[in-house]
Structure 1
Amino acid sequence: MTSDDIWDVVVVGAGPAGSSAALSALHERPDARVLLLDRSDFPRDKSCGDGVAPHVFDVLRSLGADETVRELQLHHRAVETLELSMGAQGVTRRMRRPALVVPRAQFDARLVDAAVGAGGILRRHRVRTVDTSPGGVLIDGTIRARVVVAADGAHSGVRRSIGLVLPPRMALGLRAYAPTPRSRAGRQVIRFGQDRQPSYAWAFDRGDGWSNVGYGEVLSDRLSTPSRALMVQRVEDLLPGSTSAAHSWLGHHLPLSSARWHQPAGRILLAGDAAGLINPLSGEGIYYAVATGACAGRVAALSATSPPEGQPADPGTAHREGVRRLLRGNLVSTAIAGRLVSKPLVLSAGLRASAADQKVFDDLVELALGPGRLTPRILRGLIRHGRQ
């Protein structure tokens, strides 16, 4: 491989994880040769709840994408109110930092545009083979890279090429768009199921008369995998009236993260869903995608040159250490919390604690949407209100 026929960084998958990786690599080294590969043209739809937490914009700003953040915030209304309920019990509070609800067709396209504007090259290409060697990575026999970022989703072919399988816990989600009733305007609404746990239906107001609505549940050996018809019915049961005018139903698998996260040594770095990083408490994945994409892009850019002093020579090792520094406490906390909410008594205690104390509510939102941890305040609230 010579300098004339090799890319410094090839990113497979141009969603939030991949675009963030490209932005990060080019922010670290503006002269880097960065290639983005995706099997689809943009804009393209993607099944998701469309909620974008403020932590996502913090990461994007750190990568120099300030203009993209400003445009998204200008054209999409901030949602400040979050409503959580299970049966007759619930809590409605204002979030400490508002979120945006941005359809993924628009959000992903804006991030791709930012990555291309920073100097990345975007090609439509479906990756079929990945071969590694001590000197680099060969994709489909023709595309050569010093480092590859695998950001190609839950069913990542790049991840499989290095012998990794999906995390053992998976969830299944189904999304649609439906008119926003007046009672749910300006809100993100989550209603937990009671007979199939853990599960919830959601309705996130986009601010344009439409909401992203859907249903998701953690798959288990106890219950059969829910059919599409059952999931649509669950949306209607938990959010009456949401399905009659709904359209664009689209399903997806979510590989739920665990307390332990693994990144092999080598020149292939995992990010986002391809890394098995979906918050098991909430099903949120965009923050993990942009955060781990940013980590991967930085490591890839540095590793494509002679390693600077203090930078490990192996990209995989460097990326693993970086992600663990960022998320270790969060992954342990969300793994514990994700198991706890499968117990209705614990979930009820959490709702009561959040209704009684704004700070408990804030801590739980931070844990569910960003890099938060199980705080002593959350634990005290669960114990206190679990006795009621």
Structure 2
Amino acid sequence: MGGMCVEKFDVAIVGAGPAGSAAALAARREGARVLLLDKAAFPRDKTCGDGIAAEAITVLEQLGVEGVTDGYPPIERLRLIAPSGVAVARPMPRAAHTVPRKVFDERLVRAAVAAGAELRRHTVRAIHDDGAGVTIDGQFRAGVLIGADGAGSVVRRALGHAVNPPGHLAVAVRGYTRTTNTTEQVIVTTRRRWPAYAWEFPLGDGTANVGYGEVLRGEPLSRSYLLESLDRLLPGVGSPTGMRGHHLPLSTRRPPAVRGRVLLAGDALSLINPFTGEGIFYAVLSGSLAGWAAAHKTDYRRALRQRLGRHLRHSGFAALLSRQSRVVDAAVDAAARDAAVFDRMVDLGLGDGVFDLRTIGRIASRLGHRHVATP
């Protein structure tokens, strides 16, 4: 009597969000037969700030994807308000976009399918790596499995990796509201329960993605507290619609990227910028590296290290320093006085930038002043 037929693939990917779709695109470009699994049907909403940095678009263009920001105008300026109230508003080095994840993710997954990836709606419950390949729920088998299934990753749990502990895990809520702001992304930080901030990212059509997040310290935070914090930092936002919450596993505590024939990418690998909470760039970049490595059977860890290692060290160091709100006050003050410092901070927070000695010196100089001037 024949048993259940197991479908075979070169690469299987759990999670069809930005990291998973990027992995599928990269693997397909190398000729691999790719299975893309997701528990949800697309289009589907995803809790996020919806900010798409220029660096993420560059990675996608290198994968042959175009048009993911169509219909959503570039946002060229960033306004950053420090805990002390000191502020800076300047053009970003490269324009960003605000694209709802319901739109952005569907465009990416459709691009992956158009490239030849086989998309299936399936909830993964068990994986088994026998050294020669990985079997998923007894139904699918692949030479390599990529876990790109987000902050609550089933693949990560199956490998025995715990969730990020307090201090390395943030929580945020977001929704949508009407706005007259169409030209700049706004981030308002606060000294109360620092590190914490609210944001307003305009979509360019009279609406904006608004939200509030902070690093968890061990005790749970109520929805009402998070909403009250949003209202305090962004007064006048009214009653945003579509309010949803989510966790952000920060890159300061990452599990191993590889175990056997299983790779992790994106949020499943805790690739969330601890400085800003940005994760889309990390997702598409790590996904593309994982897909390429899976197709070529090369060292994914080495590829990650070469591409992101120095940046992750710098962003982690910046996050450690910025646990003192006065350091953020000094950094914003320095950025207000020097466009090059502003550009470095944006590159570090939204892309793969690093600090240089000049930037550190400028911030240290402002930190040395007894009182940080308020513009």
Q: CA deviation at 1:207?
A: 0.4
- What are the within-5 Å matches in structure 2 for residues 302-321 of structure 1? 302-303=296-297, 311=298, 318-321=299-302
| Offset from partner CA, 1:58-90 (integer Å, 9 cap, x none) | 11111121xx3xx23431100001000135311
CA RMSD across the alignment: 1.5
| Offset from partner CA, 1:353-380 (integer Å, 9 cap, x none) | 0000000000000000000112212211
Q: CA deviation at 1:261?
A: 6.1
* Pair 296,46 (structure 1): closer, same or farther in 2 beyond 3 Å: same
Kept in 1: contact 2:19–2:148 (CA 8 A): yes
Q: Does 1:225 align with 2:220?
A: yes
SS of 2:68 mapped into structure 1: helix
Q: Does 1:352 align with 2:333?
A: yes
Q: Does 1:197 align with 2:215?
A: no
Q: Give 2:358's aligned amino acid.
A: R
SS of 1:241 mapped into structure 2: coil
Kept in 1: contact 2:15–2:149 (CA 8 A): yes
* Pair 227,259 (structure 1): closer, same or farther in 2 beyond 3 Å: closer
Choose the corresponding residue for 1:99, options 96, 112, 115.
96
- What are the within-5 Å matches in structure 2 for residues 16-95 of structure 1? 16-29=18-31, 32-65=32-65, 68=66, 71-86=67-82, 87-95=84-92
Structure 1: runs of 5 or more not aligned: 304-310, 312-317
Q: Give 2:258's aligned amino acid.
A: P
Q: Does 1:283 align with 2:277?
A: yes
Aligned-partner Cα distance in 1 for 2:362–2:174: 32
Structure 2: runs of 5 or more not aligned: 1-5, 370-375
| Offset from partner CA, 1:256-305 (integer Å, 9 cap, x none) | 012776223411110000011100000000011000000000011112xx
Choose the corresponding residue for 1:235, options 226, 230, 234.
230
Kept in 2: contact 1:127–1:140 (CA 8 A): yes
Aligned-partner Cα distance in 2 for 1:88–1:17: 36
Choose the corresponding residue for 1:123, options 120, 124, 127.
120
Q: CA deviation at 1:167?
A: 3.2
In structure 1, the residue matched to 2:136 is 139
| Offset from partner CA, 1:98-153 (integer Å, 9 cap, x none) | 00000000000000000000001111000001011111001001111111110001
Q: Does 1:266 align with 2:250?
A: no
* Pair 38,5 (structure 1): closer, same or farther in 2 beyond 3 Å: closer
- Aligned-residue sequence identity (percent) comes to 45
Q: Give 1:325's aligned amino acid.
A: Q
Q: Give 2:96's aligned amino acid.
A: A
SS of 1:146 mapped into structure 2: strand
SS of 1:135 mapped into structure 2: coil
SS of 2:70 mapped into structure 1: helix
In structure 2, the residue matched to 1:386 is 367
In structure 1, the residue matched to 2:372 is none
Aligned-partner Cα distance in 2 for 1:280–1:74: 29
In structure 2, the residue matched to 1:9 is 11
Kept in 2: contact 1:259–1:333 (CA 8 A): no
SS of 1:74 mapped into structure 2: coil
In structure 2, the residue matched to 1:315 is none
SS of 2:352 mapped into structure 1: coil
SS of 2:229 mapped into structure 1: helix
Q: Give 2:172's aligned amino acid.
A: G
Aligned-partner Cα distance in 1 for 2:108–2:120: 15
Aligned-partner Cα distance in 2 for 1:378–1:245: 39
* Pair 46,260 (structure 1): closer, same or farther in 2 beyond 3 Å: closer
Aligned-partner Cα distance in 2 for 1:324–1:261: 14
* Pair 218,109 (structure 1): closer, same or farther in 2 beyond 3 Å: same
| Offset from partner CA, 1:1-39 (integer Å, 9 cap, x none) | xxx94111111000000000000001122xx21111000
Kept in 2: contact 1:260–1:331 (CA 8 A): no
Q: Does 1:176 align with 2:172?
A: no
Aligned-partner Cα distance in 1 for 2:149–2:34: 16
Q: Give 1:145's aligned amino acid.
A: A
Q: Does 1:161 align with 2:133?
A: no
Kept in 1: contact 2:164–2:253 (CA 8 A): no
Q: CA deviation at 1:195?
A: 1.0
Aligned-partner Cα distance in 2 for 1:269–1:73: 29
Aligned-partner Cα distance in 1 for 2:28–2:241: 38
What's the TM-score once normalised by structure 1's chain length?
Answer: 0.91
Aligned-partner Cα distance in 1 for 2:249–2:135: 27
Aligned length: 362
Aligned-partner Cα distance in 2 for 1:90–1:60: 32
Q: Give 2:48's aligned amino acid.
A: C
SS of 2:11 mapped into structure 1: strand
- What are the within-5 Å matches in structure 2 for residues 317-356 of structure 1? 318-356=299-337
Aligned-partner Cα distance in 2 for 1:84–1:138: 47
Aligned-partner Cα distance in 1 for 2:316–2:164: 12
